[in-house]
């Protein structure tokens, strides 16, 4: 390499600042550009500038101006020019460029050059830069090399090149002669490992063409007899692979005592492709293949990394071909050995691969859970992540206790850096408790408390709701009592112990909720000097004080808890304090809190027996996945009442009723998730009169509107359902919406237009977030409605994301075009 | 089966010493990969595993002295562990060629480093030769031929 390249590199490296470096590079780049443009520059100097250009390429600079120049170098007769020319062509050009056509003739000539190194350069270049046109034009020239040349060096390159060209243009399969390949394969004099690598590569290309084949206009079908001709490779591949695998020592190809793992893996993969083709002749070899893989698995040394390479390839093949069960277990056991080892890469691939095979062989994988659990504590995040995924994949009723304990230990050891993993773990843990029924409420609740204590600040509100449901649904009152007692005691003692950090919102949310629901359990049986009426009241007040500015959600919970606690206390002083707490939000700028405060104050003034029945403990809650049809047909509060018929009806009203319908606006209750799940569909006529009236006024923020419009709508063909919620109002139209259903991936929303004046030609355009797809139905009964009439339009939404609507309305009032636009957010995510 | 998408040699400071792309990508995509990978990989601790998931594919890397060898590979097809052996073979070949190779050898003789790589990996990133001896033999033959060209020119 010339001294000037050297000095250029030195200059760049010696630059003290980025600006210096930049100026050196820009200067040099400009110089190269002008010099290369000079037609009289001798090739020797030209080479130097191209070399500098390549250095610019490595630095990530622009090099497009040198592209034609590489082609000029290739055109030279001297080897030194060709070598650099081809090198720079491969680097500076890529397969998508038009310039490649310039290469066709040069490559064609060089493929027939008498110097084998020139031919090899041309083959490498064609292999790297093969447009479909180049592939078609030059394929015969490469094929000639296969037929005529006996030099392994050229053969291996030609084979690699052919493999690439076949993939580039599938129609070349028509003219490719498999016989050439067979002849090479059988000629042991030329079969070096390089040539064998080339042959299996061509086989792989052909097999991939068949496996992925989709008929197109250009190629309607692939040559039928081709696979038949290839079958004979299968037994002889077995043989070669076996010999290679059992070979002891060949210094040239040895990698830590394993003979050419590269070739072994390529052969195994080729065989895998063979068996992916559904052909009777090939399938007849299936058993033999299984035997061979077993043999390889037992023969190969798993302590060496080179041996692991082959064992890993073997297991991948076993799993991907769904070979027999004993083989799969063998594969799993091999991977388990990786897990037990010290090599992190082995662990990573093992976890990854086991994850894929769990559905087929859950038990065999479970057997190695000790090693999997150990990986949870690995310092490497990617291994931890995989181990977590795998742990949840093998988790079932039989091992839940053991694995959950491991997971809790994992959570104990996590830091802030692992927040993604924590969220993942908690989400899946809560789901796991949902799916598997577990004996022993004690244990389950203690797990929840531990999770909350440890990582409560990371838990999403959705999962907090799930945890609340789990606590709520616990049948064993003693367990519930113990858990609540522990929760409250620890919170009260936190001033001293400081075990729970201030940002652990999850813990405090659950504490507040439990306090509201179950304070009586504790106060009745086992009040002591830590947990008593005064201390609980004080706790609420303190939490309220600490969070009143920045945590409206918690304040929400606190308000409800205060209301509920009030009926469980005997001390008049405490009750007054709770009342003050609630009333203090009557002028809150947060609308939701204000509404609640006002409503709760009214409730507070109800006679004690009314309050008691309304503020009963929550009934057992069942998560139900509902479909549209059963939603419409089912009578009021079906699911919860059947189970808990003893509970007063008013309870259901608290859960659902009008509250459900208005939950979008004032959804603020601790029952959020419940209200949405249980409520929504409650028909007003069946609700208990007292409860529904009372609650409608108390909790249904816009219920007045709803009932008004109901009255108005009586005479109409379309009626406004009771749960309709007003999402927009203007001087001429009121818009209501009902979320009919929202399930995984789809939702249906009805939008009701109620006219205040005579409105014609309503045109409604809606948009949803990008992750969702919206289909709109027609306006029913018509796009023109008279005063107090209603028209409805159905929106179907699919995809996933938050339900948000931007709606644009065009309509005519008295013939005058009007348009309006508004946004509405549902608190549902699909 | 081996389908390496790209091979990048980067120094501990994140400077690119060699890059080779086996799939066509735009300049912008390449720059993004280089930027993201160097930061991700340089920040990994020595005991971590050598496999990283990046966008739609995986990346296998190994550090030799001050130099990181980084390979983008095709998930599902490539054998991650085998790629580590490929990298090692390449390093071994360079070590023999340069005689105790160091980062500076590669910086100043990058075209030789490319030539060795091209003898070993071809086309769409597949292994063409597994023998170090064979690679070195070809290299020395080509070098001789290149020099004889030079010699011819001097003589004439």
User: What is the pLDDT, as a whole number, of residue A438?
Assistant: 67
Same domain, A709 and A798: no
- Domain membership flag for residue A253: no
Q: What percent of chain B has pLDDT over 70?
A: 97
**In this predicted structure, which of A430-434, A694-698, A726-730 has the lowest mean pLDDT?**
A694-698
Q: How far is CA A752 from CA A202, A543, A724, A738, in A?
A: 65, 42, 8, 8
In the predicted model, is pLDDT for residue A718 greater than 60? yes
DSSP A95-155: TT-TTHHHHHHHHHHHHT-SSHHHHHHHHHHHHHS--HHHHHHHHHHHHHHHHH---HHHH
User: What is the pLDDT, as a whole number, of residue A529?
Assistant: 66
In the predicted model, is pLDDT for residue B102 greater than 60? yes
Residue bearing the bigger pLDDT, B50 or A776:
B50
Helix (H) or strand (E) segment spanning residue A805: strand A802-813
Rounded to an integer, what distance in angstroms lies between the CA atom of residue B83 and that of residue A29? 36
User: What is the pLDDT, as a whole number, of residue A226?
Assistant: 84
Which DSSP state fits A785? B
Q: Which of B25, B111, B118 is the closest to A124 by Cβ?
A: B118
CA atoms within 13 A on the CB side of B130: 26
With respect to CATH, is domain B4-142 assigned 3.40.50.970? no
Largest CA-CA distance found in chain A, in angstroms, rounded: 108
In the predicted model, is pLDDT for residue A707 greater than 80? no
Same domain, A666 and A676: no
Same domain, A608 and A678: no
Summarised one tens digit per residue, pLDDT across range A618-677 is 777 665 543 333 333 433 333 333 333 333 333 333 443 333 333 333 333 444 433 343
User: What is the pLDDT, as a whole number, of residue A249?
Assistant: 67
Find out whether A85 and A53 touch, Cβ atoms under 8 Å: no
Rounded to an integer, what distance in angstroms lies between the CA atom of residue A371 and that of residue A375? 6
Q: Which of B8, B82, B117, B156 would you mutate first to test chain A, the one with the most A CBs within 10 A?
A: B82
| A130-161 per-residue burial string, b: 16 or more CB within 10 A, e: under 16 | bbeebbbbbbebbbebbeeeeebbbbbbbbbb
Helix (H) or strand (E) segment spanning residue A367: none
User: A701 falls in which pLDDT band (50, 70, 90)?
Assistant: very low
How much is the average pLDDT of B88-117?
91
In the predicted model, is pLDDT for residue B117 greater than 90? yes
Find out whether A217 and A176 touch, Cβ atoms under 8 Å: no
Residue spans of alpha helices (H) in A247-300? 261-276, 280-283, 286-299
Q: Which of A41, A68, A93 is the last residue of a domain?
A: A93
Q: Which domain holds residue A456?
A: 420-614
A164 touches chain B (CB under 8 A): yes
Q: Which of B120, B116, B155, B122 is nearest to B139 (CA)?
A: B116
Token digits of residue B128 = 């063409």
User: A199 falls in which pLDDT band (50, 70, 90)?
Assistant: very high
B93 touches chain A (CB under 8 A): no
Same domain, A432 and A508: yes
Token digits of residue A498 = 């400081």
How much is the average pLDDT of A672-695?
37
On chain B, the residues whose CB falls within 8 A of the CB of A192 are 131, 134
Q: Which of A721, A744, A702 is nearest to A792 (CA)?
A: A721
Same domain, A556 and A664: no
Residue spans of alpha helices (H) in A567-680? 572-583, 591-604, 608-614, 628-633, 638-643, 649-655, 657-666, 672-678
- Domain membership flag for residue A677: yes
CA atoms within 13 A on the CB side of B102: 1
Could you tell me if the ipTM is greater than 0.90?
yes
- Domain membership flag for residue A785: yes
User: What is the pLDDT, as a whole number, of residue B71?
Assistant: 93
CATH number at residue A821: 2.60.40.1230
Task: Count how many residues are written for chain B.
Answer: 156
- Domain membership flag for residue A559: yes
Query: What is the tally of structural domains in chain A?
Result: 4
Find out whether A576 and A617 touch, Cβ atoms under 8 Å: no
Q: Do B109 and A316 touch (CB under 8 A)?
A: no
SS3 at position A462: helix
Which DSSP state fits B56? T
Rounded to an integer, what distance in angstroms lies between the CA atom of residue A55 and that of residue A53? 5
Summarised one tens digit per residue, pLDDT across range A101-121 is 888 888 888 888 888 889 999
User: What is the pLDDT, as a whole number, of residue A524?
Assistant: 67
- Domain membership flag for residue A221: no
* pLDDT, averaged across chain A: 77
How much is the average pLDDT of A512-535?
73
Q: Do A156 and B114 touch (CB under 8 A)?
A: no
Find out whether B1 and B77 touch, Cβ atoms under 8 Å: yes
User: B62 falls in which pLDDT band (50, 70, 90)?
Assistant: very high
User: What is the pLDDT, as a whole number, of residue A7?
Assistant: 86
In the predicted model, is pLDDT for residue A526 greater than 90? no
Same domain, A688 and A655: no
Q: What percent of chain A has pLDDT over 70?
A: 86
In the predicted model, is pLDDT for residue A352 greater than 60? yes
**In this predicted structure, which of A172-181, A247-256, A799-808 has the lowest mean pLDDT?**
A247-256
Find out whether A315 and B80 touch, Cβ atoms under 8 Å: no
Same domain, A605 and A689: no
Same domain, A607 and A736: no
A161 touches chain B (CB under 8 A): yes
User: What is the pLDDT, as a whole number, of residue A269?
Assistant: 92
User: A717 falls in which pLDDT band (50, 70, 90)?
Assistant: low
- Give, in degrees to the nearest 5, the angle at Cα A201 between A196 and A206: 130
List, as own/partner pairs, every contact residues A672-676 make where C-beta atoms lie below 8 angstroms and the sequence separation is at least 24, other chains included.
A672/A465, A673/A462, A673/A465, A673/A466, A673/A468, A673/A469, A674/A465, A674/A469, A674/A618, A674/A621, A676/A827, A676/A828
Burial of A279 (0-12, 13-18, 19+ CB in 10 A): middle
Instruction: Give the list of residues 6+ apart from residue A807 with CB closer than 8 angstroms, or none.
Output: A728, A735, A751, A764, A765, A766, A767, A821, A822, A823, A824
- Domain membership flag for residue A2: yes
Q: Which residue of B has its CA nearest to A62?
A: B27
Instruction: Give the list of residues 6+ apart from residue B8 with CB closer than 8 angstroms, or none.
Output: B16, B18, B19, B20, B34, B37, B68, B69, B70, B71, B72
Rounded to an integer, what distance in angstroms lies between the CA atom of residue A269 and that of residue A314? 9
Helix (H) or strand (E) segment spanning residue A788: none
3-state secondary structure A505-530: HHHHHHHHHHHHHHHHHHHHHHCCCC
Same domain, A518 and A656: no
Summarised one tens digit per residue, pLDDT across range A294-314 is 988 888 887 888 888 999 999
Rounded to an integer, what distance in angstroms lies between the CA atom of residue A408 and that of residue A700? 41
- Domain membership flag for residue A48: yes
In the predicted model, is pLDDT for residue B61 greater than 90? yes
Query: Closest approach of chain B CAs to the CA of A191, in angstroms?
Result: 12
User: What is the pLDDT, as a whole number, of residue A114?
Assistant: 85
Same domain, A561 and A509: yes
Please report, for chain A, how many H helices and E strands are present, in that order.
40, 10
Q: Which of A746, A782, A786, A748 is nearest to A764 (CA)?
A: A782
On chain A, the residues whose CB falls within 8 A of the CB of B18 are 58
User: What is the pLDDT, as a whole number, of residue A248?
Assistant: 65
User: What is the pLDDT, as a whole number, of residue A685?
Assistant: 38
Summarised one tens digit per residue, pLDDT across range A139-182 is 898 898 888 888 889 999 999 999 999 888 888 888 888 888 88
B154 touches chain A (CB under 8 A): no
User: What is the pLDDT, as a whole number, of residue A651?
Assistant: 38
Q: Do B122 and A161 touch (CB under 8 A)?
A: yes
User: A698 falls in which pLDDT band (50, 70, 90)?
Assistant: very low
- Domain membership flag for residue A74: yes
Q: Which of A32, A67, A93 is the last residue of a domain?
A: A93
User: What is the pLDDT, as a whole number, of residue A695?
Assistant: 36
Tell me if the bond preceding A781 is cis, omega within 30° of 0. yes
Token digits of residue A480 = 């519930």
Q: Do B51 and A382 touch (CB under 8 A)?
A: yes
Same domain, A533 and A465: yes
Rounded to an integer, what distance in angstroms lies between the CA atom of residue A563 and that of residue A582? 8
Q: Which of A678, A677, A680 is nearest to A662 (CA)?
A: A680
Beta partners for A818?
A811
Phi, psi of A97 (to 5 degrees): -95, 145
Radius of gyration of chain B (CA): 16
Rounded to an integer, what distance in angstroms lies between the CA atom of residue B101 and that of residue A500? 56
Q: Which of A662, A692, A713 is the last residue of a domain?
A: A713
On chain A, the residues whose CB falls within 8 A of the CB of B74 are none
In the predicted model, is pLDDT for residue A336 greater than 50? yes
Radius of gyration of chain A (CA): 37
Q: Which of A6, A204, A380 is the closest to B49 by Cβ?
A: A380
Same domain, A665 and A676: no
User: What is the pLDDT, as a whole number, of residue A5?
Assistant: 85
User: Across the A/B interface, how many CB contacts are shorter than 8 Å?
Assistant: 175
How much is the average pLDDT of A491-519?
77
Rounded to an integer, what distance in angstroms lies between the CA atom of residue A812 and that of residue A149? 84
Distance spanning both ends of chain B, measured CA to CA? 48
Q: Which of A6, A63, A73, A80 would you mutate first to test chain B, the one with the most B CBs within 10 A?
A: A80
């Amino acid at each position: 390499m010339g001294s000037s390249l050297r000095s250029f590199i030195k200059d760049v490296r010696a630059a003290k600042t980025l600006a210096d470096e930049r100026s050196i590079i820009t200067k040099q780049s400009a110089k190269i550009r002008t010099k290369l443009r000079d037609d009289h520059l001798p090739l020797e100097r030209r080479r130097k500038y191209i070399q500098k250009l390549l250095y610019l390429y490595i630095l990530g600079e622009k090099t497009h101006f040198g592209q034609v120049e590489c082609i000029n170098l290739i055109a030279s007769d001297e080897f030194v020019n060709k070598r650099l020319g081809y090198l720079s062509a491969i680097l500076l050009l890529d397969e998508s460029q038009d310039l490649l056509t310039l290469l066709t003739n040069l490559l064609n000539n060089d493929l027939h050059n008498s110097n084998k190194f020139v031919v090899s350069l041309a083959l490498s270049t064609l292999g790297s830069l093969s447009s479909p046109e180049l592939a078609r034009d030059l394929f015969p020239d490469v094929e000639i090399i296969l037929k005529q040349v006996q030099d392994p060096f050229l053969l291996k390159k030609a084979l690699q090149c052919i493999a690439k060209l076949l993939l580039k243009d599938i129609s070349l399969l028509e003219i490719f002669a498999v016989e050439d390949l067979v002849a090479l394969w059988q000629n042991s004099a030329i079969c070096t490992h390089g040539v064998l690598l080339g042959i299996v590569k061509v086989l792989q290309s052909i097999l991939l063409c068949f496996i992925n084949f989709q008929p197109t206009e250009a190629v309607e079908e692939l040559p039928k007899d081709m696979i038949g001709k290839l079958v004979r490779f299968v037994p002889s591949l077995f043989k070669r692979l076996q010999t290679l695998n059992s070979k002891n020592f060949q210094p040239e190809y040895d990698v830590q005592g394993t003979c050419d793992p590269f070739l072994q893996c390529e052969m195994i993969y080729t065989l895998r492709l063979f068996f992916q083709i559904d052909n009777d002749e090939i399938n007849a070899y299936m058993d033999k293949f299984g035997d061979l893989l077993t043999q390889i698995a037992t023969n190969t040394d798993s302590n060496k990394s080179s041996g692991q390479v082959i064992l890993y390839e073997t297991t991948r093949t076993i799993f991907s071909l769904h070979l027999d069960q004993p083989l799969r277990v063998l594969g799993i056991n091999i991977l388990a050995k990786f897990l037990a080892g010290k090599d992190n890469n082995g662990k990573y691939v093992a976890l990854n691969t086991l994850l894929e095979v769990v559905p087929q062989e859950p038990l065999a994988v479970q057997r190695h859970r000790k090693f999997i659990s150990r990986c949870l504590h690995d310092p490497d995040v990617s291994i931890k992540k995989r181990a977590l995924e795998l742990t949840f994949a093998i988790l079932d009723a039989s091992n839940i206790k053991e694995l959950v304990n491991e997971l809790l230990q994992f959570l104990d050891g996590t830091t802030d850096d692992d927040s993604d993993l924590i969220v993942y773990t908690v989400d899946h843990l809560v789901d796991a408790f949902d799916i598997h029924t577990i004996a022993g409420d004690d244990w389950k609740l203690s797990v929840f408390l531990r999770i909350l204590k440890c990582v409560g600040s990371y838990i999403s509100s959705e999962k907090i709701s799930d945890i609340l449901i789990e606590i709520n649904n616990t049948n064993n009152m003693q367990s519930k009592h113990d858990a609540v007692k522990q929760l409250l005691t620890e919170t009260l003692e936190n001033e001293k112990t400081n075990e729970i950090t201030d940002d652990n919102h999850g813990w405090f949310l659950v504490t507040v909720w439990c306090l509201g629901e179950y304070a009586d359990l504790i106060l009745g049986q086992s009040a002591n000097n830590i947990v008593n009426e005064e201390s609980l009241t004080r706790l609420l007040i303190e939490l309220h004080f600490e969070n009143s500015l920045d945590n409206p959600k918690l304040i929400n919970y606190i308000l409800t808890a205060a209301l509920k606690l009030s009926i469980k206390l005997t001390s008049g002083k405490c009750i007054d304090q709770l009342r003050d707490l609630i009333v203090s939000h009557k002028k809150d700028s947060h609308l939701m809190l204000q509404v609640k405060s006002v409503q709760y104050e009214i409730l507070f003034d109800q006679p004690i027996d009314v309050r008691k029945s309304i503020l009963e403990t929550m009934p057992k809650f069942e998560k139900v996945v509902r479909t549209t049809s059963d939603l419409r047909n089912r009578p009021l509060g079906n699911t919860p009442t059947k189970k808990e018929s003893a509970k007063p009806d008013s309870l259901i009203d608290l859960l659902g009723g009008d509250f459900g319908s208005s939950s979008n606006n004032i959804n603020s209750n601790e029952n959020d998730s419940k209200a949405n799940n249980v409520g929504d569909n409650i028909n007003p006529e069946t609700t208990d009169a007292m409860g529904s009236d009372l609650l409608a006024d108390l909790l249904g923020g816009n219920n007045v509107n709803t009932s008004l419009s109901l009255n108005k709508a009586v005479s109409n063909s379309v009626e406004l359902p009771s749960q309709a919620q007003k999402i927009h109002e203007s001087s001429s139209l009121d818009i209501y919406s009902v979320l009919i259903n929202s399930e995984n991936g789809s939702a249906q929303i009805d939008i009701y237009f109620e006219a205040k004046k005579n409105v014609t030609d309503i045109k409604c355009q809606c948009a949803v977030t990008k992750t969702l797809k919206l289909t709109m139905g027609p306006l029913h009964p018509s796009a023109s409605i008279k005063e107090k009439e209603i028209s409805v339009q159905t929106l179907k939404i699919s995809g996933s994301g938050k339900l948000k609507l931007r709606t644009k309305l065009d309509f005519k009032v008295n013939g005058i075009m009007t348009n309006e636009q508004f946004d509405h957010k549902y608190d549902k995510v699909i | 089966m081996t389908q390496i998408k790209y091979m990048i040699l980067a120094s501990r400071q994140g400077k690119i010493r060699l890059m080779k792309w086996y799939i066509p990508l735009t300049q912008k995509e390449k720059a993004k990969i280089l930027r993201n990978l160097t930061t991700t990989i340089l920040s990994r601790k020595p005991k971590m595993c050598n496999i990283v998931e990046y966008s739609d594919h995986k990346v296998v890397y190994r550090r030799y002295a001050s130099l990181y060898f980084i390979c983008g590979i095709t998930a599902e097809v490539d054998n991650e562990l085998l790629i580590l052996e490929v990298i090692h073979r390449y390093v071994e070949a360079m070590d023999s060629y340069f005689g105790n190779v160091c980062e500076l050898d590669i910086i100043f003789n990058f075209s030789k480093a490319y030539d060795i790589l091209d003898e070993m990996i071809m086309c769409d990133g597949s292994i063409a030769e597994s023998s170090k001896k064979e690679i070195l033999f070809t290299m020395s033959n080509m070098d001789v031929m290149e020099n004889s060209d030079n010699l011819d020119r001097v003589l004439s």
